[in-house]
């Protein structure tokens, strides 16, 4: 898929037949999972890793790596120096992401943590790292929705990159920190009165991550439907903001209920109040498949009409997410990743490993262009290119390709 980034998708497979869309997608997923497991064994695994970073500071560094990827690739539209060939270009971009993430993690835990002990690395059980990483929960919602729902409104068309992305990043710092301060801080700060908290931490994580799931569904799988029907960019942004909160809240109850059903009553009882977080645990499994489906499976189907296309994508990715949830918690996390028990028959924390898989997917697909794989067939290449163009801020190019395809079909 590196050819997709560098050339017209319609000529990506010129002169030879590309991989079928499903084979290209599966190959990407296999590579991502293999790399994720190897990195886990090396850096994180509670039994095998010589580093001993489980669960902290691994999760903090991971979360900041994910949001740094969003800032750099989604908001600023940069995946490495354009003058460099792949894979050098992508590797430079990945290094920049990791440096940013490491700096933020260290500055919060050892810099700001010296001022406010709530963030300190020395807090028991990594609570200081957790305090910092919770910022990412809210940042991910604001920064991703700005890129794929708002389409960079109100800066699109007024500023060029990187100034557009920097303006977007700067403007959204305040709402991110306000929501974090109101909803999260009373639960986790050493100086806070937990009696003033509006919502308990596990419920907050489950609910707010469900808002993120809504953003990914509507912005990626559904190509910004139904929000795009609002008309003007400002109206689209406003409707998507309110709509994702409403739809995400509905998803919290639906996905949370499905998670309870999948794990069974014994595990639900063992988890107690913590079971509310499992809307996010199942949600991250679903998000992994939505990102993969939109970026390397051609966002199939594309020929049934908007409503039918969206319905099939929704069901297929949800089923894949549910199967992944079952495989991870009942087998993979305990036997392969050596994670501790989380219930009577559950192991692990999907917000760790599955977020790592999400990060590796973004690195491999967006930054490296699926380096080393044969190109997909022309239709899948075009669909993947349109998705990546929207994610990285090249929406005008994506719209032009979609319009050209529409004219050809009609």
Cβ atoms within 10 A of the Cβ of 354, count?
26
Q: What is the CA radius of gyration of the chain?
A: 21
Burial class (CB in 10 A: 0-12, 13-18, 19+), 49: middle
Helix axes 233-263, 278-296, angle to 10 degrees: 120
Per-residue pLDDT at 18: 82
pTM (2 decimals)?
Answer: 0.91
Q: Is the CA virtual torsion 42, 45, 47, 52 positive or negative?
A: positive
Burial class (CB in 10 A: 0-12, 13-18, 19+), 261: exposed
d(CA 123, CA 121): 6
For residue 395, give the nearest of 82, 161, 235 by alpha carbon.
Answer: 161
Q: What is the dihedral of CA 180, 197, 102, 56, to 10 degrees?
A: -150
C-alpha distances out from residue 278 to 42, 134, 207, Å: 27, 16, 10
For residue 108, give the nearest of 85, 133, 142, 82 by alpha carbon.
Answer: 133
- Exposure string (b/e) for 11-33, b if CB count within 10 Å is 16 or more? ebbeeeebbebeebbebbbebbb
For residue 130, give the nearest of 76, 179, 64 by alpha carbon.
Answer: 64
Residues 6+ apart with CB under 8 A from 202: 273, 274, 275, 276, 277
Per-residue pLDDT at 334: 97
d(CA 343, CA 378): 46
Per-residue pLDDT at 404: 38
Per-residue pLDDT at 402: 44
- Exposure string (b/e) for 206-240, b if CB count within 10 Å is 16 or more? bbbbbbbbbbbbbbbbbbbeebbebeebeebbebb
Cβ atoms within 10 A of the Cβ of 360, count?
18
Residues 6+ apart with CB under 8 A from 186: 192, 193, 194, 196, 197, 198
The partner residues of 376 in beta bridges, in order of sequence, read 19
Instruction: Report residue 314 CA to chain centroid gap.
Output: 16
Per-residue pLDDT at 379: 67
Please tell me whether residue 19 adopts helix, strand or coil conformation. strand
Per-residue pLDDT of the chain (410 residues; tens, 9 = 90+): 233 333 333 434 444 578 999 999 999 999 999 999 999 999 999 999 999 899 999 999 999 999 999 999 999 999 999 999 999 999 999 999 999 999 999 999 999 999 999 999 999 999 999 999 999 999 999 999 999 999 999 999 999 999 999 999 999 999 999 999 999 999 999 999 888 999 999 999 999 999 999 999 999 999 999 999 999 999 999 999 999 999 999 999 999 999 999 999 999 999 999 999 999 999 999 999 999 999 999 999 999 999 999 999 999 999 999 999 999 999 999 999 999 999 999 999 999 999 999 999 999 999 999 999 998 887 666 666 667 766 676 653 444 344 334 333 33
Per-residue pLDDT at 246: 99
d(CA 7, CA 11): 7
Domain ranges for the chain: 2-11+25-409
Look up residue 56 and give its DSSP letter.
T
- Structure tokens belonging to residue 87: 């894979």
Question: How many Cα atoms are found within 13 Å in the side-chain-facing hemisphere of 262?
Answer: 24
């Amino acid at each position: 898929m590196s050819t997709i980034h560098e050339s017209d998708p319609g000529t990506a497979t010129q002169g030879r037949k590309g991989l079928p869309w499903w084979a290209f997608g599966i190959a990407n997923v296999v590579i991502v999972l293999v790399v994720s497991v190897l990195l886990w064994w090396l850096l994180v695994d509670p039994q095998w890793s010589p580093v001993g970073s489980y669960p902290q500071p691994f999760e903090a560094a991971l979360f900041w790596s994910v949001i740094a990827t969003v800032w750099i690739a989604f908001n600023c539209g940069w995946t490495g120096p354009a003058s460099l060939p792949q894979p050098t270009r992508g590797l430079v971009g990945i290094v920049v992401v990791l440096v940013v993430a490491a700096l933020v993690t260290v500055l919060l835990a050892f810099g700001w943590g010296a001022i406010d002990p709530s963030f300190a690395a020395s807090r028991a059980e990594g609570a200081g790292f957790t305090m910092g990483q919770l910022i990412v929960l809210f940042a991910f919602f604001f920064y991703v929705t700005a890129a794929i729902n708002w389409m960079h409104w109100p800066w699109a068309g007024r500023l060029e990159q990187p100034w557009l992305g920097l303006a977007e990043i700067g403007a959204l710092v305040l709402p991110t920190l306000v929501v974090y301060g109101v909803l999260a801080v009373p639960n986790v700060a050493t100086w806070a009165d937990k009696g003033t908290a509006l919502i308990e931490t596990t419920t907050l994580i489950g609910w707010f991550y469900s808002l993120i799931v809504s953003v990914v569904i509507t912005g990626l799988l559904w190509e910004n439907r139904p929000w795009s029907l609002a008309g003007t960019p400002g109206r689209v942004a406003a409707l998507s903001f309110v709509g994702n909160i409403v739809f995400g809240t509905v998803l919290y109850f639906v996905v949370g209920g499905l998670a309870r059903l999948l794990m069974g009553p014994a595990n639900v009882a063992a988890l107690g109040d913590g079971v509310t977080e499992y809307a996010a645990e199942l949600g991250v499994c679903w998000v992994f498949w939505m990102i993969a489906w939109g970026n390397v499976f051609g966002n199939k189907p594309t020929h049934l009409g908007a409503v039918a296309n969206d319905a099939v994508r929704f069901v297929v990715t949800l089923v894949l997410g549910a199967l992944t949830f079952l495989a991870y918690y009942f087998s993979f996390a305990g036997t392969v990743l050596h994670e501790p028990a989380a219930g009577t028959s559950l192991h692990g924390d999907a917000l760790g490993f599955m977020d790592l898989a999400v990060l590796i997917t973004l690195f491999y697909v967006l930054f490296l262009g699926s380096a080393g794989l044969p190109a997909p067939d022309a239709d899948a290449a075009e669909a993947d290119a349109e998705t990546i163009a929207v994610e990285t801020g090249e929406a005008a190019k994506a719209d032009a390709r979609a319009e050209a395809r529409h004219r050809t079909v009609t």
